[in-house]
Structure 1
Amino acid sequence: MTAMPPLGAEVLPPGIRARIIPGINGLAMHVLEAGEPGTRCLLLLHGFPELAWSWRKVMPALAAAGYHVVAPDQRGYGRTTGWSADYDGDLAPFRMLNLVRDQLGLVAALGYGHVEAVLGHDFGSPVAAWCALIRPDVFRRVALMSAPFAGPPALPEEGPDRPSPPDIHAALAALPWPRKHYQWYYSERGANDDMWRSPQGVHAFLRAYYHMKSADWSANKPFRLAGWTAEALAQMPTYYIMDLDKDMAATVAPEMPSAAAIAANRWLPERDLAVYAGEYDRTGFQGGLQWYRCRTTGRFEAEAQVFAGRTIDVPSVFIAGASDWGIEQVPGAMRRMREVACTRMSDVHLIPGAGHWVQQEQPEAVVAHLLKWLG
């Protein structure tokens, strides 16, 4: 992959700077920074389909509170290079323990022995959780956003006589309204091209996708699901439990907001969306999709089971939008996070007026909760 320059000052908000840090676990890592190096450090980890850019609205305020705020483009994303988007290539670099290794390397390259806190949103949330679970000496607090962490996988030997769960994919496909789970769709060979080469183009695809998962889409009214069954999961919107015969670009296209709604959008104006679109138009989506493939194949499950029963014992907090279906997409995960996985979780904040993109939709509320938690 060709080396990239950092994002230019012409697109960066005041107080945020960008640079490339080479030699981090095989990566040349693109990072955004705010605040003074050498002060207390906050590490911010984005999700899919996002970038370090996703934190642009909260970084200046956190820096003004006295923190050195660092947000990388994670492995597979944006202007970070040193990874392969080959569908038939090696998935191992994208497994969770190596994603944690990436962040350990970044902390070391920044000259820190530890960070004050690691914050993760969406797929960045489990990375942040695993950072705090494995290396609490380095990641001394953890804020999880939009994706609950239910803990490491259990050892199968603990319940060898437990009946095997039914095939959820066959059950979804057999529903009167045939459906499929988005994570397994994201693991298919064609998913990248479906979005990257979609009829509407990357910019319009992302506009509809971000809109449909935000509080602007009035159908986002999450509630607790009864369990991991086809009938329960099918109550979620089609961006999670998709029509069996549709790809993601076709799923979100009918919900494209009007020109007037786009012009009125304050949390994601066209100039901000253009940064996302420009990066994904260049890289495609496969780098992020490799993360989903690591999860759905189960190939690295045994490695993760080494940590079975281990809890996150550093101070933690959970923040999400009140209109975010992500908090309910895995039935029981929220309860297990609060009661088992995180032993020092002080608060769960569900912010009104925000969907899945909580730090972009309601940045002031997110900053207020974070600063109060950080003390």
Structure 2
Amino acid sequence: MSSTSTNLPDLPLPAGIRSRVIEGVNGLSVHVLEAGYGSNERPCVLLLHGFPELAYSWRKVMPVLAEAGYHVIAPDQRGYGRTTGWDASYDGSLTPFRLTNLVRDALGVVAAFGYRSVAAVVGHDFGSPVAAWCGLIRPDVFRSVVLMSAPFPGPPQMAFNFADAPLPPKRVDPVHHELASLPRPRKHYHWYYATREANDDMWRAPQGVHDFLRAYYHHKSADWKDNKPHPLKSWSATELAKLPTYYVMDLAKTMPETVAPEMPSKEAIAANTWLPDHELAVYSSEYQRNGFQGGLQWYRCGTSGAFTAELETWSGKSIDVPSCFISGKQDWGTHQRPGVFETVQTTACTRMTGVHLIDGAGHWVQQEQPGEVSRLLLQFLKTAAV
């Protein structure tokens, strides 16, 4: 189900942003958006989107960074949009979608443009762990890291000091059984996204892909007034059940069924300035064409545990380049994994220069509040370069 980018309509991009395809990047033809182009004498900033988004998610930030003197590159990541060369069949190999290969993709993009290092790698949502691993594995290339909406817990810990003691048994997480056993049975969206049915549920959504995405984006934004995040006490069913249903779903519901009741009114849609319908149409047309499985493969890599041993290669290592964290004040993503927001500020990153929760933004922070995100990014880039 790889995408095809031939004969597609031009994207409606702001002035100063161009769209192009770079061939031969780690087996991919990578579609990128680019601003501040024309000379690789400019310091480079790499922007990595999340799910279910695209390079297009950065359209409001890119011109500001370019105006400030940066060469800004935002790829459609593996499995997304107009990047081709990936196979997202459910029964295909997950290996190309594992985190270390996504870092290789990012490295390949900046190398293709002739950069041996970049000023910053910025990742939002599922782009955040990719950015984190970029800074962890190749700090010589990715000279600073901005994590957005998804704090980084650090690498998984390797079993330690067991030569003269029994190896601790592999722990089976009981939380999924406990969630399903609640009086109101629930399930975690990561594990739903790993099911065979999830792609078709969303691709063939009863309300159509466009209206599904509208409801999904609305539900996770500051426009949905019940988004009032707070820290959770533990990774337990009773605590996780406090999360909104887009994170901890009703057991029997699909994601389109979950968000459908939160569909904003026609008046609210018409009044939406951060994602008007003609901009949402960019996302809906790309996902109608490709489906969602390319992005869902990333979740499957995480929930399967198949690549944990590889990531344990960096057990005990921290991100030691300058870093910062940016999220919406109304974004539950900051707290969806209890304790990680604290960990990213203490042990996962050793040179975190700022933590910013932007009021008036939910999960789609660089789209909901692009001016403040741009200001914070430029402020960080200035301090990181010192």
Pairwise TM-score range, normalised by the shorter structure: over 0.9
Q: What is the match of residue 305 of structure 1?
A: 312
**Whole-Å Cα distance in 1 between the matches of residues 121 and 45 of structure 2?**
6
CA distance in structure 1 between the partners assigned to 2:325 and 2:6 by the alignment? 34
Could you say which residue in structure 1 is the equivalent of 2:66?
63
In the TM superposition, what are the counterparts of 1:322-337 in structure 2 within 5 Å?
A: 322-337=329-344
Cα distance between partner residues in 1 of 2:193 and 2:48: 20
Q: Does 1:264 align with 2:271?
A: yes
Q: Does 1:29 align with 2:64?
A: no
In the TM superposition, residue 13 of structure 1 has moved relative to its aligned partner by 1.0
Instruction: Give the alignment partner of residue 294 of structure 2, picking from 281, 287, 290.
Output: 287
Cα offset, 1:7, TM superposition:
6.8
SS in 2 for 1:28: strand
The SS at the match of 1:157 is coil
Deviation, structure 1 residue 130: 0.1
Rate the CA distance shift 1:330–1:259 in 2: closer, same or farther, 3 A.
same
Distance 1:10 1:108, change over 3 A: closer
CA distance in 2: counterparts of 1:92 and 1:163, whole angstroms:
22
**Residues 251-289 of structure 1: CA distance to partner in whole angstroms, max 9, x if unpaired?**
000000000000000000000000000000000000000
Q: How many angstroms does 1:114 deviate by? A: 0.7
Gaps (5+ residues) in structure 1? none
Change (3 A) 1:189 1:10: closer
Q: Cα RMSD between the aligned structures?
A: 1.4
Query: Which residue of 175, 183, 189 corresponds with 1:182?
Result: 189
Query: Which of 173, 198, 201 pairs up with 2:208?
Result: 201
Distance 1:236 1:6, change over 3 A: farther
**1:356 matched to which residue of 2?**
363
The 5 Å alignment of 1:187-266 reads 187-266=194-273
Structure 1-normalised TM-score? 0.98
In structure 2, relative to structure 1, the CA distance for the partners of 1:357 and 1:10 (3 Å cut) is: closer
- Cα 1:23–1:114 shift into 2, 3 Å: same
- The structural deviation recorded for 1:163 is 8.7
Tell me: CA distance 1:346–1:7, structure 2 relative to 1, closer, same or farther (3 Å): farther
1:43 to 42, 46, 51: 46
Report the equivalent of 1:150.
153
Deviation track 1:221-260 (CA, whole Å, cap 9, x = no partner) reads 0001010000000000000000000000000000000000
Report whether the alignment pairs 1:171 with 2:178.
Answer: yes
**Conserved? CA contact 1:6–1:20, under 8 Å:** no
Q: Within 1, Cα distance between the matches of 2:254 and 2:4? A: 31
Segments of structure 2 that go 5 or more residues without pairing to the other structure are none
SS of 2:160 mapped into structure 1:
helix
Q: Distance in 1 between matches of 2:30 and 2:170?
A: 44
CA drift at 1:12: 1.0
The equivalent residue for 1:16 is: 17
1:100-179 equivalences in 2 (<5 Å): 100-157=103-160, 160-161=167-168, 164=171, 166-179=173-186
Deviation of 1:218 after TM superposition, in Å, equals: 0.5
Q: Secondary structure at the match of 2:82?
A: coil
Q: CA deviation at 1:5?
A: 4.0
In the alignment, what sits opposite 2:94? 91
* 1:82 is the counterpart of 2:89: no
SS in 1 for 2:44: strand
Q: Secondary structure at the match of 2:215?
A: helix
CA distance in 2, matches of 1:57, 1:276: 15
Deviation at 1:3, TM superposition (A): 3.9
Amino acid across the alignment from 2:99: M
Q: C-alpha displacement at 1:2, in angstroms?
A: 5.8
Q: Which runs of 4+ in 1 moved over 2 A?
A: 5-10, 156-166
Distance 1:133 1:313 in 2: 7
Q: CA deviation at 1:161?
A: 4.3
Range that drifts further, 28-37 or 199-208:
28-37
Distance 1:19 1:7 in 2: 12
- Residues 357, 23 of structure 1: alpha-carbon distance in 2 compared, 3 angstrom cutoff: same
AA of the residue aligned to 1:276: Y
Matched residue, 1:317 = 324
Aligned counterparts of 1:166 and 1:287: Cα–Cα separation in 2 = 26
Residue identity opposite 2:84 in structure 1: T
Query: Is the 1:5–1:20 contact (alpha carbons within 8 Å) kept by the matching residues of 2?
Result: no
Q: Distance in 2 between matches of 1:360 and 1:370?
A: 14
TM-score by length of 2: 0.95
Q: How many residues align?
A: 375
The alpha-carbon distance between structure 1 residues 166 and 278, as it changes in their structure 2 partners (threshold 3 A), is: closer
User: Percentage identity across aligned positions?
Assistant: 65
Secondary structure of the equivalent of 1:226? coil
CA distance in 2, matches of 1:6, 1:25: 24
Aligned 8 A contact 2:3 2:83 in 1: no
Return the offset for 1:157.
3.5
For the residue of structure 1 that corresponds to 2:379, the secondary structure is helix
- Say if 1:313 and 1:343, in contact at 8 Å, map to a contact too: yes
For 2:121 and 2:7, the matched residues in 1 are separated by 23
